[in-house]
Structure 1
Amino acid sequence: MKTLKILLLTACIGATLPTMAQTTNPATFHGADATKSTYRAVYQLDNEEPDRIKGTLRNIQNAINDPRLKGKLQLELVVHGAGVAAFKKESGYEETVKKLQDQGVVLAMCENTMRERKITKDELFPFLSYVPSGNGELIIRGQDGWTIIHP
């Protein structure tokens, strides 16, 4: 009886495997369809390495430029910890960051980071928004269904 059950289970699994495997023709594949009316993502930046900062800002711009997502995006950039380097006036990122904001990206700076690092608003871009904690913002957004991206 035990052998019969194993054989039946194996036959059932074997019968469903071909339907589970997805065959995609690379010549016709075009990526996922954006069928929802709104897509929400929050990008996390907690690193001061120039390549990481540039990469994060570029990733956000790439999402904005994706034709499938035109007019459907709500984006936020949460900066905390060492990522504050991206929002400092002398960083060299002001033009890029302001352009993202002009395209609707919310730029959120962590006030905990500012207190811990003794940074004042005068040292940062004047057009930023502030959140009590970067981690808190990520937790809330995640629970509200936002995609969290940490490049």
Structure 2
Amino acid sequence: MKKFLVVPLMMMMYTGYAQTTDAQLRKNREYTGAVARQKQYHAIYQLDKNDPKVIQKAIRNINNALNDPRLKGKLQIELVAFSAGTDAYLKGSEYEEALKALVGRGVIVAQCQNTLEERKIPKEQLYDFIALVPSGNGELIIRQAEGWSVVKP
């Protein structure tokens, strides 16, 4: 008798689970993203690798954020390079036009002064539109304390 009760009970439990799962899947499918309720959003992107895939990803991620319709007119972004990320800012790199385009969209494109000193790179070797900050890590610390999102592509 117990065997006959267990099977229907298990079928009822499975049916209930399947219905819940279907509802959850439908709810998830209908989700369209967080609502941007704040007046202003801030993000600082960290660039510390001389890896073309990482550099291109950082630039692409920034452009995607700037193009997000929820954030239009509400977003301030900074891209700070230090360590090996500095190479993206050196004259002759393949990123000049992409970096200029970011600046043209209001992005602060900044370089760590400490890295220049440690690597003995004269400021003149950087594109002339690059801003300088005393330290990349200091910039990240200050911005995060001010409520900025820190993004490492």
Asked whether the two chains share a fold, i.e. TM above 0.5, the reply is yes
Uncovered stretches (5+) of structure 2, i.e. residues with no partner? 1-23
| RMSD of aligned residue pairs (Cα, Å) | 1.3
Question: Aligned partners of 1:55 and 1:119: how far apart in 2?
Answer: 25
Superposed displacement of residue 23, structure 1 = 7.7
Uncovered stretches (5+) of structure 1, i.e. residues with no partner? 1-21
Question: Aligned partners of 1:45 and 1:104: how far apart in 2?
Answer: 18
What's 2:69 paired with? 67
User: Which string of whole-angstrom CA distances, capped at 9 and with x for unpartnered residues, describes residues 63-86 of structure 1?
Assistant: 001011000001000100000011
Question: Aligned partners of 2:139 and 2:66: how far apart in 1?
Answer: 21
Question: Aligned partners of 2:58 and 2:122: how far apart in 1?
Answer: 24
Cα 1:24/1:80, change in 2 over 3 Å: farther
What's 1:19 paired with? none
Question: Aligned partners of 2:105 and 2:136: how far apart in 1?
Answer: 22
Secondary structure, aligned partner of 1:33: coil
Aligned residue runs from structure 1 range 87-102, under 5 A: 87-102=89-104
Question: Aligned partners of 1:74 and 1:87: how far apart in 2?
Answer: 20
Question: Aligned partners of 2:36 and 2:79: how far apart in 1?
Answer: 22
Superposed displacement of residue 26, structure 1 = 3.2
The one-letter code of the counterpart of 1:83 is G
Question: Aligned partners of 1:23 and 1:111: how far apart in 2?
Answer: 50
Match of 1:78 among 77, 80, 96: 80
What's 2:129 paired with? 127
Match of 2:52 among 50, 53, 59: 50
What's 2:6 paired with? none
Superposed displacement of residue 24, structure 1 = 6.4
Q: How many residue pairs align between the two structures?
A: 130
Superposed displacement of residue 95, structure 1 = 0.3
What's 1:117 paired with? 119
Cα 1:94/1:28, change in 2 over 3 Å: same
The one-letter code of the counterpart of 1:78 is V
Q: TM-score, normalised by structure 2?
A: 0.82
What's 2:152 paired with? 150
**Runs (4+) of structure 1 moved beyond 4 Å?**
none
